Amino acid sequence: MLSVRPFVPFCAAATVLIGIGLAAFPPLASWAADTQSGGATTRSIANANAFSSAARNLPPQMRRRFFVGNKIFTATWAASPNEDTTFVGLGPTFNAPSCIACHVRDGRGAPPEPGAPMTTMLIRASVAGGGATGGPMPHPALGLQINTSAVDGIPDEGTVTITYREIAGRYDDGTPYALRAPTYAYAPPEMFAGTAPVLLSPRVAPAVFGLGLLEAVDEEEIVARADPDGDGISGRVNRVWDTAAGAVRLGRFGWKANTASLRDQTAAALIGDMGITTSVFPDENCPAPQTDCRAVPTTGIEADDTILADLTFYTESVAVPARRRADDPAVQRGEALFDTIGCAACHIPRMVTGEHRNPAVRGQTIQPFTDLLLHDMGPDLADGRPDFGASGSEWRTPPLWGLGLIEAVNGHTFLLHDGRARGIAEAILWHGGEAAAASAAFRALAAPDRVDLLTFLDSL
């Protein structure tokens, strides 16, 4: 019998901001006056459970299905064979035995302390070139991500550690700040000696709420915001292969907009993070050099279509938390700074959803603060790993809704795709490329204006 040895959960999936500022502005009676960030799905919860409630408008007959999906999301999967649980099929290699191990309280992950193992973060892997469907070329020994855990008797795929160096800087008024630049060290197992060099891309686990609303935004609205006109802020769509649909579609999920649908994203996470097969990805995640992994007897589809559908329904039905303190003058001044100086050019405050299979997310006016497009963020944030149409320096604009609740839910304030930023200000200061001018203007703000801008962002 295969059993699970002690593991280090290590999962996917943090926040890109831009902002620059001017002097005080009068309060605006605009989009920010509406605190219902997720439209009728919004829940006014600001505690540790802020990211975990069912959409407020979810029809009563669908609420049972939401809790069924939540049970799957929180379930711990066991290795085969195991007659004591419904959830069997973990591994042979994996990062975590459950969804909730990475997306704690449906929130976002964080990098580990220097030298410590990763828990709510993973490392994508590939080699140079394009894969069969246009995405990254899988590493011949690792596949598309490094699985740092395995069931008993099977080698894992190695370990990744992070170290940081401090970078000192100053705002234009002389106030000092410090950024931390990460370095990743991969220690492969001996059996991988001499295999191809690996391209590494760190990803912290993103929050789960509001995903159905983003899926329901009409493609035409997203494409219309793409702006490759040379004004310094381009915004490009990523066209990706959707395995679940068997077609090329608009990417809108993931740090590089490399996934088109929640069904595809859910199935990819099951196989990539947990080693759970589905009808979308029916083959175990065992690259050819991993002979021990490939020798494990297969058990067929481990998460059937009902489980996959219920889990997908859950991810599309989690409520967005309401904005807070919208009547605070500091928040309103920060809102005016954010809007007037161009932050909203990429972090679009308002969108409208269209048709969707889930009635709760149809026809909603939402405030996600994203355009769902790719933007070049410059060399300092580049991972050097292309993903479909996304270059090594391009990242999807992540939503900012719920930004100020991350600490209450997850106990940290680490932002950006790899969690290097220790708060909102550091995230802004890391911005380069298309956001370099915005970052420079943020540094030029007077201290009270910086505080107002950050207060606004913390209210989202």
The pLDDT of residue 191 is 82
Residue 3 counted as domain residue: no
What are the two backbone dihedrals, phi and then psi, of residue 113, each rounded to the nearest 5 degrees?
-65, 150
Residue 75 counted as domain residue: yes
The pLDDT of residue 116 is 84
Would the CA dihedral through 189, 192, 193, 199 be positive or negative?
Answer: negative
Give the CA dihedral 157, 238, 335, 18, nearest 10 degrees: 60
Amino acid at 390: A
pLDDT at 431 over 70: yes
pLDDT at 18 over 80: no
Report the percent of the chain where pLDDT is more than 90: 83
Average pLDDT, integer, range 350-371: 97
Bridge partners of residue 268, in order along the sequence: none
Tell me the pTM: 0.91
CA distance 56 to 38: 10
Average pLDDT, integer, range 414-441: 95
Q: What is the pLDDT of residues 285-330, one digit of tens each?
A: 999 999 999 999 988 999 999 999 999 999 999 999 999 999 999 9
CA distance 42 to 402: 11
Residue 404 counted as domain residue: yes
**Is residue 105 within 8 Å of residue 321, measured between CB atoms?**
no
The pLDDT of residue 82 is 85
Residue 12: C-alpha distances to residues 122, 174, 320 (Å) = 5, 38, 20
Q: What angle do CA 221, 381, 409 make, to 5 degrees?
A: 70
CB proximity list for 127: less than 8 A, separation 6 or greater: 137, 138, 139, 140, 196, 197, 198, 199
User: HSE of 84 in the Cβ direction (CA atoms, 13 Å)?
Assistant: 5
Which pLDDT band holds residue 190 (cuts at 50, 70, 90)?
A: confident
Average pLDDT, integer, range 182-210: 91
First to last CA, the chain: 49
Average pLDDT, integer, range 16-41: 54
Copy the structure tokens of residue 120.
Answer: 């709510």
- Neighbour-count burial of 178, counting CB atoms closer than 10 A to its CB (0-12 exposed, 13-18 middle, 19+ buried): exposed
The pLDDT of residue 33 is 53
- Report cis status (omega within 30 of 0) of the bond before 92: yes
Phi and psi based region of residue 99 (left: phi greater than 0; alpha: psi -120 to 50; beta: remaining): alpha
Q: How many CB atoms lie within 10 A of CB 209?
A: 30
pLDDT at 111 over 70: yes
Q: How many CB atoms lie within 10 A of CB 174?
A: 7
CA proximity to 344, closest of 14, 28, 45, 13: 28
Q: How many CB atoms lie within 10 A of CB 391?
A: 16
Residue 455 counted as domain residue: no
Residue 266 counted as domain residue: yes
The pLDDT of residue 343 is 84
Q: What does the mean pLDDT of the chain come to?
A: 90
* SS3 assignment for the chain: CCCECCCCCCCCCCCCCCCCCCCCCCCCCCHHHCCCCCHHHCECCCCCCCCCCECCCCCHHHHHHHHHHHHHHHCCCECCCCCCCCCECCCCEECCCCCCCCCHHHCCCCCCCCCCCCCCEEEEEEEEEECCCCCEECECCCECECCCEEECCCCCCCEEEEEEEEEEEECCCCCEEEEEEEEEEEECCHHHCCCCCCEEEEEECCCCCCHHHHHHECHHHHHHHCCCCCCCCCCECEEEEECCCCEEEEECECCCCCECCHHHHHHHHHHHHHCCCCCCCCCCCCCCCCHHHHHCCCCCCCCCHHHHHHHHHHHHHECCECCCCCCCHHHHHHHHHHHHCCHHHCCCCCEEECCCCCHHHCCCEECCCCCCCEEECCHHHCCCCCECCECCCEEECCCCCCHHHHHHHHCCCCECCCCCECCHHHHHHCCCHHHHHHHHHHHHCCHHHHHHHHHHHHCC
Would the CA dihedral through 17, 19, 24, 27 be positive or negative?
Answer: negative
Average pLDDT, integer, range 91-116: 95
The domain total for the chain is 1
Which domain does 71 fall in, by range? 43-216+236-322+375-429
Amino acid at 268: A
Copy the structure tokens of residue 392.
Answer: 């090594």
Residue 294 counted as domain residue: yes
Residue 275 counted as domain residue: yes
pLDDT at 397 over 70: yes
The maximal CA–CA distance of the chain, rounded, in angstroms, is 68
pLDDT at 1 over 80: no
Residue 100 counted as domain residue: yes
CA distance 266 to 372: 19
